[in-house]
Amino acid sequence: MMLDQLPAQSPDALLALIKMYASDPRADKIDLGVGVYRTDSGATPVFAAIKAAEAQLVKTQDSKSYLGPEGDMGFVRALMPYIFGRDAAYLGRVEGMQTPGGTGAVRLALAVAKKAGVTKVHMGTPSWPNHAQILSDVMLDAALFDHAAPDGAIDLDTVLAIIKGAAAGEAVLLHGCCHNPTGIDYSPAQWDAIAAAFAGSAALPILDLAYQGLGTGMDDDAYGVRAVLSAAPEGLVAYSCDKNFGMYRDRVGALYVLADKAGQLPAIMSNLNALARASWSMPPDHGAAAVRVILDDPAMTRLWLDELTTMRSRIGSVRGQMAAAGQIGPLDLTALARQNGLFSTLALTKDQVVRLREDHAVYMAGSGRINVAGLHSGNIANFIRALKTVAG
Ligand code: LMR
C-alpha cells in the first residue's frame, strides 16, 4: 500500500473560510473572506455583458470540439490592447495563451521559468498564499522580502536591490496592481524605478495581474506591466479575468510571454504548449469564449467597462467610509483610502481575528486581510463597531 502513507493536509485556509461562513447560522454575519466583488446588497451577480455574450454563444456556437493547449487565441489576442496598450514597441515580442484562471497562468509561468533554468523566485511578503503553495509544488525556492507593513509604506530600496543583485537563474514575482493581501501598490514613479532595475538585471520578471480595472482604472492598473515590459528583455505576465469579468468559477486566464527576440517566441510557446498539455490538456472554453464575444463587440465592451467602473467606484466609496472611521486603537483605517482593489490587511492579532469571527460573526483571513467589497451599507457600521470592541 502506498496511498495510505499520505499525511493529511489541512484544507486551504481561504477556501475553508467559505464553508465556515456558509454554515454560520447568525443572520448578521459578515463575509470579508475570499476575494469576490459584492454589490451594496452583498450579491455577486453575473455581469450583464457576460449574460449577453453567453446568450450569443448559445445561439451561434456550433461545436464544442477540442481546441489546442493554447485555448481560444481570439480571446488571448482580444485582451492584449487592454493589458499592453495598442502601440507598445515591444508588442512584436509578445505572445500568449489561455490558461485555467489566474492560478493556471501563475503555475504555467513558474513551470516554464523552472524549465528555462530558474531555481529561485524572489517574492514580497505578505503575498497571496497560493503563490508560496505553487512555488513549493513546482519545487522552486522562494526567497522572501518584505513588501510593506500592513498599513505602511513600500520598501522600494529592498526590491530594487534584489532585482539589481539577482543572478541568472533568479526570477522576481510582483503583483501588477491591487496587491493581494495589502492593497499597497507601487506608484508609477516606483514602477519606473523597478522597470529600470529590470533593464540591467539578469532576473526574470514574473508579473501577476489578477485585478486589472479594480484599482484606479484599466490603463492605470496596467502601468507596472507596461513599464517593466518596455524595459526588460524578457518577462512573463499571468493574467486573470476571474475578477474583472466576474467569471470566478469559470476559470478564465492567460499567460503572456515577452521574448528577447521575436524569433524566439515559437520555441518558448512550444514549451508552454507542452507543459499545458501535460497539465490540463487545454483550458476550459466557455468563459474565455464569452470574454472574446464581449471584446469583439463595441456595445458589449462598453457595457462591460461601465460595469467595471461601477465596481471600482463602489470599492472606492467603501474605502472612503472605512477611512472616515479614523484610528481604532492601533488600527489606522485612513490607510484604506490610499490602498487599491479588493483587499487591505488590518494589523489584527490572530486572537483578534478569531474573536471577530466567534463573537461578532465577522469572517476574514487569518492574516487580518479583508475583502473590502464584502462591506456595504447594511454591515459597515456593525463591522466598525466590532473592530472597536476587539481592537479599540
Ligand atoms: C483571493 O485571494 O481571495 C482570491 O484570489 C481567490 C483565491 O483563489 O484565493
Per-residue pLDDT for 322 more than 90? Answer: yes
- Find out whether the peptide bond into 126 is cis, omega within 30 degrees of 0: yes
Q: Which helix (H) or strand (E) holds 54?
A: helix 48-60
* pLDDT confidence tier of residue 12, bands split at 50, 70 and 90: confident
Q: How far apart are the first and last CA of the chain?
A: 55
208 is catalytic: yes
Report CA(34)–ligand 1 centroid distance (Å): 6
Mean of pLDDT values over 127-133: 95
Using CB distances shorter than 6 Å, the residues near ligand 1 are: 14, 34-35, 128, 130, 180
Distance, in Å, from the CA atom of 293 to the CA atom of 74, rounded to the nearest integer, reads 9
The DSSP code sequence of 271-328 is: HHHHHHHHHTSS---HHHHHHHHHHT-HHHHHHHHHHHHHHHHHHHHHHHHHHHT-EE
For residue range 341-352, list pLDDT tens digits in order.
Answer: 999 999 999 999
pLDDT score of 151: 64
Among residues 357, 356, 359, the alpha carbon closest in space to that of 331 is found at 356
pLDDT score of 133: 95
User: Is the entire prediction scored with pTM above 0.85?
Assistant: yes
Catalytic residue among 31, 128, 221, 242: 128
Atom 4 of ligand 1, residue of closest alpha carbon: 35
Residue type, 257: V
Among residues 71, 37, 109, 72, the alpha carbon closest in space to that of 295 is found at 72
Contact 64, 209 (CB under 8 A): no
For residue range 176-185, list pLDDT tens digits in order.
Answer: 999 999 999 9
CATH topology assigned to domain 66-296: Aspartate Aminotransferase; domain 2 (3.40.640)
Q: Round the average pLDDT of the chain to a whole number and report it.
A: 96
Report CA(100)–ligand 1 centroid distance (Å): 14
Three-class SS state of 154: strand
For residue range 49-79, list pLDDT tens digits in order.
Answer: 999 999 999 999 999 999 999 999 999 999 9
Catalytic residue among 31, 221, 242, 243: 243
The total of other beta-carbon atoms located within 10 Å of residue 89's CB is: 8
* pLDDT confidence tier of residue 257, bands split at 50, 70 and 90: very high
Mean of pLDDT values over 105-116: 98
pLDDT score of 311: 98
For residue range 212-229, list pLDDT tens digits in order.
Answer: 999 999 999 999 999 999
Distance, in Å, from the CA atom of 175 to the CA atom of 225, rounded to the nearest integer, reads 9
For residue range 144-156, list pLDDT tens digits in order.
Answer: 999 987 667 899 9
In the chain, CATH 3.90.1150.10 sits at 11-46+300-391
* pLDDT confidence tier of residue 11, bands split at 50, 70 and 90: confident
29 is catalytic: no
Distance, in Å, from the CA atom of 131 to the CA atom of 332, rounded to the nearest integer, reads 28
Upper half-sphere CA count for residue 30 (Cβ side, 13 Å): 30
Per-residue pLDDT for 372 more than 80? Answer: yes
Three-class SS state of 208: strand
pLDDT score of 181: 96
Per-residue pLDDT for 85 more than 80? Answer: yes
Residue whose grid cell is 496598450: 85
Atom 1 of ligand 1, residue of closest alpha carbon: 35
Report CA(130)–ligand 1 centroid distance (Å): 8
pLDDT score of 150: 63
Upper half-sphere CA count for residue 130 (Cβ side, 13 Å): 17
Catalytic residue among 31, 72, 208, 242: 208
The DSSP code sequence of 96-153 is: EEEEEHHHHHHHHHHHHHHHTT--EEEEEES--HHHHHHHHHTT-EEEEEE-B-TTS-
* Superfamily the domain 11-46+300-391 falls into: Aspartate Aminotransferase, domain 1 (3.90.1150.10)
Looking from the CA of residue 15, the nearest atom of ligand 1 is 9
Distance, in Å, from the CA atom of 279 to the CA atom of 308, rounded to the nearest integer, reads 32
Q: Which segment of 91-105, 141-155, 191-205 scores lowest on mean pLDDT?
A: 141-155
Among residues 317, 240, 306, 259, the alpha carbon closest in space to that of 91 is found at 259
* pLDDT confidence tier of residue 392, bands split at 50, 70 and 90: confident
For residue range 267-283, list pLDDT tens digits in order.
Answer: 999 999 999 999 999 99
Among residues 350, 87, 107, 133, the alpha carbon closest in space to that of 230 is found at 87
**For the packed helices 223-231 and 188-199, what is the interaxial angle rounded to 10 degrees?**
20
The total of other beta-carbon atoms located within 10 Å of residue 167's CB is: 10
Report CA(167)–ligand 1 centroid distance (Å): 31
In the chain, CATH 3.40.640.10 sits at 66-296
Mean of pLDDT values over 350-370: 96
C-alpha cell at 360: 461578532
Contact 283, 71 (CB under 8 A): yes
DSSP code, position 164 = H
